[in-house]
Structures are given as C-alpha cells and as structure tokens.
C-alpha cells in the first residue's frame, strides 16, 4: 500500500504561480498529489507523483451529491472546502491503494514533508495537521465516515447550505476528532503568511524584525537576524494566501532558489546574507491598506459579499476534551 495521496481541486484559470506548486512536489516522492480541475495542464516535465484528473465543477458537484446521498449546495468552488472531510468517501476509488489521504491548497510551496510528517507520526495518529491548506487522514472506514458522527455539528446542514462553515479546519473536523478522543497530531511547523500584514510574517510561529522566506533546493526556510547574526530554520511549507503575487520572470521556475516577497517571487541562485534579508524584507502597504479597508467595509456591511458567505457558527461550538 502506498503512503499517502493529497487531493487538490481547482476550477477556472490556474494561477500564474501554479508551476511553483508543481515544482515543489518533486521533493516529495513519498506523496502522490491528485489534481482535479477543468483546466488543461500543459506544463512540461510534470513530476511522476502528480496525477491530473479532468472534471467540470458540475460533474464533481453531482458526483458528491450521488456519493453522499444528499444535495450538495456548492454554488462556487470555494464552498467545496467544506466537503474536504468527506474526500475519503467522495474519492474512495482513487484512494483505495493509499494508507493516508489528504487535501491541500495550491497557494503554497512545499518543502520536504517527510521531515515533518514522519513514519512514527503516521503510525501513532489518524489525522495529521488541522489547517485547511494541508491535512492528512488515515484511510480507513471509521475515519472516512467520522465527519457524520458528531453530536454537536450537523454535517448534512453544512453540506446542503451554500454558506461556508470552515468545516475542513479546526472549527469543524478537528473538533469532531476531539469529541471522540481520536488521535490527531498538529505542529506549528509552517510559514502560514498573515493575509492582512504588509510584511511577510507568519501566524502561530515566532517572527523576527528582519526575516526572509526562501524555497531553497526543495526546502522551505525562514532566514532571520537575531542579535546581529544570521540564523535559519526549516519549515514544512509556505502558504502565501490571499495575495496577488507577481511572476515577473520565467526564471523563477528554474532558479536554484525562490525568494518570497510581499510583491512577487524572485529567482535566486546565490548565498543568503544579512544584506539580502534587509533588501527583500519590505512591506506591501497597498496590500495592507486594501485588506484593512475591506475589513472595515465588511463590518459596516458596505462591501458586496463574495460568491460564498462565511458562516462563523462553528467557532462558537464548545467541545469537551
């Protein structure tokens, strides 16, 4: 049995940085990645562990409804995130040969996942990580159907509502696992970039006054200055959510390293120095002001809602340990 398959779903034009996501899969040969999309993926030299499945949004929505025995309310692709805890059943045929299955986003680059998701972690847990942008589940019937079992969260109401409940994150399926005391593992080992910040700073892990995030030879690293000295640490992946980062040159798809800035991806083949960190650790204040103004307008109900309305009710559900 193979170790793990990680599912990604994308409808509509692929982002310009898509080749970077694909490139980062090559360092993770122990994981297969299953991409379901309505786009033609025409990149050269696709890695052997990427398997592309052609499907339309309507076809997938109908497949979900038929498989789960309900009417899937998905008017926009983003709503499909709520169905992620049910992927073990929805894609059962494609996942039958894997010990674990999971889901991930495309707005990220992976480092070396096996340095953070070790064999011991997989043996001791039925779920790994509680962030929506990467989560793994053990591929067994009791786990694949667990989303149906909560006494506190009504999965059918979530699946049949057009609103997005964040059921794939710690508000939802994480609480269901906790409700039943089922083994799950989480470690804050990722560069989850704060969406509303001007600089590239992370949620949940320590940040520094001067720091830089780089994908370097298949590894994601956080370089930083502390007491005037250069340090770094390896991270599992970097998630650059809700940012319109530019691909200003095709060299970024072939360079030895990729520097992440609040503006763009920068190809890099040299040595990281304190001067390099100071050069690229800048703030994108246009992005920051836009995010802040949008938050204010939403609170005042002056901003038109997007294709999916966020429902926050799962945040208020308290579970016993």
Specify whether 20 is located in the same domain as 80: yes
Specify whether 11 is located in the same domain as 99: yes
pLDDT greater than 50 at residue 321: no
Q: Specify if 104 maps to a domain.
A: yes
Q: Which of 187, 209, 226 is the last residue of a domain?
A: 187
Specify whether 178 is located in the same domain as 200: no
- How far apart CA 66 and CA 60 sit, in angstroms, is 10
pLDDT greater than 80 at residue 320: no
Return the CATH number at 119.
3.90.550
pLDDT greater than 80 at residue 1: no
Q: Specify if 255 maps to a domain.
A: yes
Specify whether 212 is located in the same domain as 170: no
pLDDT tens track for 48-99: 999 999 999 999 999 999 999 999 999 999 999 999 999 999 999 999 999 9
Sheet with 237-239: list strands edge to edge. 108-110, 237-239, 191-192
How far CA 280 is from CA of 190, 199, 200, 243, 283, in Å, comes to 20, 10, 10, 17, 9
The candidate with the shortest Cα–Cα distance to 209, out of 228, 186, 195, is 228
- How far apart CA 57 and CA 152 sit, in angstroms, is 30
pLDDT tens track for 211-265: 999 999 999 999 999 999 999 999 999 999 999 999 989 999 999 999 999 999 9
Specify whether 115 is located in the same domain as 183: yes
- How far apart CA 131 and CA 103 sit, in angstroms, is 10
Q: How many independent structural domains does the chain possess? A: 2
Structural domain of residue 270, as residue ranges?
A: 191-287
Specify whether 134 is located in the same domain as 249: no
Three-class SS state of 63: helix
Q: Which of 187, 206, 229 is the last residue of a domain?
A: 187
Backbone phi and psi for residue 139, each to the nearest 5 degrees, phi listed first: -85, 80
**Residue 303 pLDDT:** 82
Q: What count of Cα atoms within 13 Å lies in the side-chain half-sphere of residue 303?
A: 15
Specify whether 174 is located in the same domain as 234: no
How far CA 321 is from CA of 50, 128, 142, 152, 295, in Å, comes to 38, 18, 20, 13, 33
**Residue 318 pLDDT:** 61
**Residue 307 pLDDT:** 87
- How far apart CA 216 and CA 27 sit, in angstroms, is 11
Q: What is the value of pTM for the model shown?
A: 0.95
DSSP per position, 225-275? EETTEEEEEEESEEE-TT---B---GGGGTSSEEEE-SSBEEEE-S---HH
Q: The tokens of 97 are what?
A: 């040969």
pLDDT tens track for 143-178: 999 999 999 999 999 999 999 999 999 989 999 999
């Amino acid at each position: 049995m193979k170790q793990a398959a990680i599912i990604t779903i994308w409808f509509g034009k692929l982002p310009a940085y898509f080749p970077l996501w694909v490139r980062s899969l090559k360092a993770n040969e122990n994981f297969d990645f299953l991409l379901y999309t309505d786009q033609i993926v025409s990149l050269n030299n696709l890695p052997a562990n990427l398997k592309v499945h052609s499907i339309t949004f309507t076809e997938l929505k109908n497949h979900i409804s038929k498989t789960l025995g309900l009417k899937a309310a998905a008017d926009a692709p983003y709503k499909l995130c709520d169905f992620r805890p049910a992927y073990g059943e929805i894609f059962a045929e494609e996942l039958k040969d894997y010990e674990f299955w999971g889901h991930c986003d495309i707005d990220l680059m992976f480092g070396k996942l096996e340095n953070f998701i070790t064999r011991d972690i997989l043996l001791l847990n039925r779920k790994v990580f509680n962030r929506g942008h990467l989560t793994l589940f053990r591929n067994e019937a009791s786990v694949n159907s667990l989303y149906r079992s909560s006494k506190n969260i009504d999965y059918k109401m979530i699946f049949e509502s057009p609103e997005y409940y964040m059921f794939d994150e710690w508000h939802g399926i994480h609480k269901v696992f906790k409700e039943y005391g089922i083994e799950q593992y989480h470690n804050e080992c990722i560069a989850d970039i704060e969406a509303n910040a001007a600089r590239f700073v992370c949620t949940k892990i320590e940040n520094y006054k001067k720091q830089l995030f780089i994908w370097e030879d298949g590894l994601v690293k956080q370089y930083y200055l502390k007491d005037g000295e250069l340090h770094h640490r390896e991270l599992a992946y970097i998630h650059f959510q809700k940012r319109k980062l530019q691909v200003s040159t095709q060299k970024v798809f072939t360079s030895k390293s990729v520097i992440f800035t609040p503006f763009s991806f920068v190809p890099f083949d040299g040595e990281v120095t304190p001067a390099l960190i100071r050069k690229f650790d800048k703030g994108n204040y246009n992005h920051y002001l836009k995010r802040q103004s949008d938050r204010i307008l939403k609170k005042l109900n002056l901003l038109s809602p997007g294709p999916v309305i966020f429902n926050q009710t799962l945040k208020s559900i308290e579970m016993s340990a």
